[in-house]
């Protein structure tokens, strides 16, 4: 694999409330290399989107990041001034939002929205340069250049999402975060959008973080999977390893809940509900719902244990002395 692109270390995101502090992201650590695709999966409320917004530094007050670092090609994004971070968005790290319908300005033509992006980053002064660049970007995502003259309401959901992809890659970023980019689309359009994202990623040589809860989509697209629960990463590993030999009980339940055409069986969901991040349970946050819990799971938060150089898990079922000391 190529050189390290992104290193997230001990990232915390807190939301102060009158009732106490909500720890939406609680010590997340992972690394990404050039051209790699990482999937962040988990139930709603597990901290996936908050992690993505933290990477973009787009968290709205009262959210704050009290601890952690986000090193992109040697630069800590958390240490940048607001202006430097504004310049880094789209140029170094960009985001394909969850709902294209809400992210495109409904009263501006597509061309004008690209123009705003270019002007905000001081690029392409002449109108002909801008038009040529927009046409090229639209063609790159499989859209006719005439789309530039349209308003968002004139486009289908899949076309809007591809416009968002074109905007996200317009300044050739190193990292592309895709936050559930197909959640509002039918399965045929989902495939088209993911193929488009994969194609432009390969052309740029960029890294992708795909946020979502669709394990089937993850299996088809990503290289590695990070499983999140209650603001923590509980397991990270290669996609084939995670699906063939999931180690964390939560990961096992997520995979067991995927329907299959190969055999008829009773659909089995995950019992209980995700814990409150304001008053989480003591010890391992999953122990309340876990059918493999040990006596000390309710008292001690498990460390991250490396099962192999590229696969680690935070679970008491895997004693530390039997494995490597540090996660990959």
Q: Is 319 part of any domain?
A: no
Q: Is 302 part of any domain?
A: no
Residues 169-198 have a mean pLDDT of 90
Q: Is 90 part of any domain?
A: yes
Farthest CA pair distance, the chain: 69
Among 4-8, 76-80, 142-146, the least confident range: 4-8
Q: Is 286 part of any domain?
A: no
The torsion angles phi and psi of 176, rounded to 5 degrees, stand at: -120, 120
Give the model's pLDDT for residue 261: 66
Reported as type and span, the H/E element at residue 165 is helix 157-168
Give the structural domain span for 210.
4-274
The Cα-based distances of 107 to 47, 103, 153, 154, 216 in angstroms read: 32, 12, 9, 11, 36
Does the pLDDT at position 224 exceed 80? yes
Give the model's pLDDT for residue 1: 41
Residues comprising the chain, all counted = 328
Q: Is 46 part of any domain?
A: yes
Q: Is 318 part of any domain?
A: no
Question: Percent of the chain beyond pLDDT 70?
Answer: 93
Give the model's pLDDT for residue 328: 46
CATH number at residue 195: 3.40.50.300
Quick one: pLDDT band at residue 322, thresholds 50, 70, 90? Answer: low
DSSP letters for 22-90: EEEEEEEEEEEETT-EEEEE-STTSSHHHHHHHHHT-PPTT-B--S-EEEETTEEGGGS-HHHHHHHBT
pLDDT tens per residue across span 148-165: 999 999 999 899 999 999
Task: List, in sequence order, every residue forming a beta bridge with 11; answer none if it has no partner.
Answer: 28
Q: Is 206 part of any domain?
A: yes
Q: Is 134 part of any domain?
A: yes
Q: What is the pTM of this model?
A: 0.92
Count of the separate structural domains present in the chain = 1
Quick one: pLDDT band at residue 256, thresholds 50, 70, 90? Answer: confident
Give the model's pLDDT for residue 103: 86
Query: Which candidate, 44, 71, 41, 39, places its Cα nearest to that of 55?
Result: 71
């Amino acid at each position: 694999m190529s050189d390290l692109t992104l290193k997230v270390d001990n990232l915390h995101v807190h939301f102060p409330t009158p009732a106490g502090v909500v720890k939406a992201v609680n010590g997340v650590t992972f690394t990404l290399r050039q051209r790699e695709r990482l999937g962040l999966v988990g139930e709603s409320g597990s901290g996936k989107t908050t992690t993505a917004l933290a990477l973009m530094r787009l968290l709205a007050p009262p959210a704050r990041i009290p601890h952690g670092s986000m090193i992109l090609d040697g630069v800590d994004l958390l240490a940048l001034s607001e202006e430097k971070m504004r310049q880094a968005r789209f140029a170094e790290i960009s985001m394909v939002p969850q709902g294209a319908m809400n992210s495109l300005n409904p009263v501006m033509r597509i061309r004008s929205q690209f123009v705003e992006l270019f002007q905000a980053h001081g690029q392409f002064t002449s109108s002909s340069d801008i038009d040529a660049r927009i046409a090229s970007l639209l063609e790159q995502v499989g859209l006719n250049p005439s789309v530039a003259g349209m308003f968002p309401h004139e486009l289908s959901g899949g076309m809007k999402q591809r416009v968002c992809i074109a905007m996200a890659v317009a300044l050739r970023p190193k990292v592309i975060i895709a936050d559930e980019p197909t959640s509002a689309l039918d399965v045929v359009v989902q495939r088209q959008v993911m193929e488009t994202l994969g194609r432009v990623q390969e052309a740029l040589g960029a890294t992708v973080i795909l946020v979502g809860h669709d394990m089937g989509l993850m299996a088809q697209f990503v290289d590695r999977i990070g499983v999140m629960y209650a603001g923590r990463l509980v397991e990270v590993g290669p996609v084939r390893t995670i699906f063939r030999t999931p180690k964390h009980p939560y990961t096992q339940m997520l995979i067991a809940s995927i329907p299959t055409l190969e055999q008829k069986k009773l659909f089995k969901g995950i019992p209980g509900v995700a814990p409150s991040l304001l008053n989480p349970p003591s010890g391992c946050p999953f122990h309340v719902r876990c059918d493999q819990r040990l006596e000390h799971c309710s008292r001690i938060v498990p460390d991250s244990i490396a099962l192999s150089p590229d696969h680690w898990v935070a679970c008491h079922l895997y004693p530390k002395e039997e494995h490597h000391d540090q996660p990959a």
